Amino acid sequence: MVAKKIGDNFVKEKNIKVNAVLNVIKTLSSILFPLITFPYISRVLQPDNIGKINFGSSFVSYFTLIASLGITTYAIRECAAVRNDKKKLTVTASQIFSINICTTLVAYCALAVTLLCFREFDTYRTLIIIQSLTIMFTTLGCDWLNSAMEDFIFITIRSISFQAIALVLMFVFVREPTDYLKYAFITVVSASGANIVNIFYRKKYCEIHFVKQIEWRKHLKPIMLLFVMILAQTIFNSSDVTMLGLIKGDYEVGIYSTAVKMKQLIAQVVTSLAWVIMPRMSLYFENKDYEKINRMLKRVLGVLLTLGLPSAIGCICLSDEIVIMMAGSSYIGASSALKILMVGFLISLVGGSFLGNMILLPSKRESVYMIICCLATVINLVLNYFLIPRWGVNAAAATTAFSSLIILIFLLFSMDKKIRIDGLLKSIITPILGCVFIVATCVLIRCFVTHIFIRLIISIVAGGIVFLVSQVVLRNYLVIEIISIVKDKFRRLE
């Protein structure tokens, strides 16, 4: 009863709709920055230097993983559970921070040994050192505390401010291909500089400090399970870039990473809901309130499908135009890879994003998710090894999509029997039918409009209108609800 009361108070304190909107705004700002910079950067740095940047980033991600050790997800879940008790919050947050300091030191030692022992990385050493600064800033910032407290107002304002600073710095200092190191440092400022501010801001919630007395037995098992799971996901997401770099060279990496970046721009907006919902879902699962769980999952799935399906289908239809407009004609090889990656994104939308992040993790079934992710990663690595030498970027994209399908299949078999989503079939079919109209619209416009930029803009606008109208006609409950809310707001203004 006490846990239930705390959970109800927590729900009343924070408005999840406001949090979702704020997180979408933050995510859109993080997308707007690349949208503004990428066309400029891709033309200034050229494919080879873009390849170096992405190879270095992929390499550093492995050491970032050692430092983070699955702590972010665990910290959000555990701190959210004790957020109403400042004393318990201070103890929990300080112990998790202390563990994070230890893992960060291990990560930097491993990075130093790797750079000193393997001569293959000599060309990338300075670049990797610059990019590795994100590890230190992320650890010191403890941004997971803000997420656990659902303080998305601060997170949003802070993120947008540093992205704006980075935008100015980029146009001032990045002028020619040799400026790729400057660009790497500016991306560090954009991604991690805000964590410095957080060192001072987080004191409003509790005092986080390094402690020697850590309940290792309590924290280590769930953290290690999450670590293995995230390790598998990181290898899954990064191995294709790393293997392309080693087997095919910087040019292929530059082409492929361009397609990956465009896919990530869409994925970030659509899946940003997960970090908003996770603290709330953790409370619902803690209280075993399946009525609220099922109601929340229905809404989340509706959002994911209503936003994700049309975005992915539109991107597939307009892949040539998007690549040329965003990166230039020299990157046109990324178009086919982008199509394949978007198919993989559609699969992962229901798999990893929904079944994994929205059900298994909040319900503390990370061990199941870990096994599934490890299996998919092994399959991905094996397929990459045999297929990349022959088919390059398209093989890397195809293996990613296939491995996402493996994850989806196994997650479906591991579903909690108490999870029952009302109107599931309609929630899936309605946006699919809307996407049929998007495809027809894009094909029709392609027949009559030859100018790439004009065709892209008209297709996006017309496709969006056609999809929205179709959802109203087909009675998509989420769209109907949003329209009702907007109408109600206008009535109040009158």
In a domain, 309, yes or no: yes
Residue 286 vs residue 382, higher pLDDT: 382
Residues 354, 345 contacting (CB under 8 angstroms)? no
Residues 328 and 428 in one domain: no
What is the total count of domains within the chain? 2
437 alpha carbon, distance to own chain's centre: 28
Residues 417 and 429 in one domain: no
Residues 118 and 233 in one domain: yes
Burial class (CB in 10 A: 0-12, 13-18, 19+), 490: exposed
Residues 298 and 429 in one domain: no
- Of 361, 387, 422, at which residue does a domain stop? 422
Residues 202 and 297 in one domain: yes
User: Minimum mean pLDDT among 10-14, 81-85, 151-155, 186-190: which range?
Assistant: 10-14
Residues 384, 240 contacting (CB under 8 angstroms)? yes
0.75 surpassed by pTM: no
Residues 334 and 449 in one domain: no
Residues 473 and 377 in one domain: no
In a domain, 5, yes or no: no
In a domain, 8, yes or no: no
| Domain span at 225 | 15-422
Residues 414 and 430 in one domain: no
Residues 387, 399 contacting (CB under 8 angstroms)? yes
Mean pLDDT, residues 483-487: 73
In a domain, 256, yes or no: yes
Tell which residue, 315, 336, 326, has the closest CA to residue 442.
Answer: 315
Residues 435 and 409 in one domain: no
Say what the pLDDT of residue 465 is: 94
Residue 466 has pLDDT above 90, yes or no: yes
In a domain, 10, yes or no: no
Residues 401 and 429 in one domain: no
Tell which residue, 326, 28, 29, 24, has the closest CA to residue 163.
Answer: 29
Give residue 476's pLDDT band: very low, low, confident or very high (50, 70, 90).
confident
- Of 371, 397, 422, at which residue does a domain stop? 422
- CA dist 214 and 405 (Å) reads 40
pLDDT digits (tens, 9 = 90+) for 116-165: 888 777 788 889 999 999 899 888 888 888 877 877 777 778 878 888 88
Write 354-358 long-range contacts (CB < 8 A, 24+). 354/297, 354/300, 354/301, 354/304, 355/408, 355/411, 355/412, 355/414, 355/415, 356/407, 356/411, 357/271, 357/274, 357/278, 358/274, 358/277, 358/278, 358/281, 358/297, 358/300
Residues 124 and 204 in one domain: yes
Token pair for 46 = 């050229």
In a domain, 7, yes or no: no
In a domain, 4, yes or no: no
Name the average pLDDT for the chain: 82
Residues 401 and 436 in one domain: no
Residue 189 has pLDDT above 60, yes or no: yes
In a domain, 383, yes or no: yes
- Of 422, 441, 470, at which residue does a domain stop? 422
User: Minimum mean pLDDT among 284-293, 314-323, 358-367, 485-494: which range?
Assistant: 485-494
Residues 205, 45 contacting (CB under 8 angstroms)? no
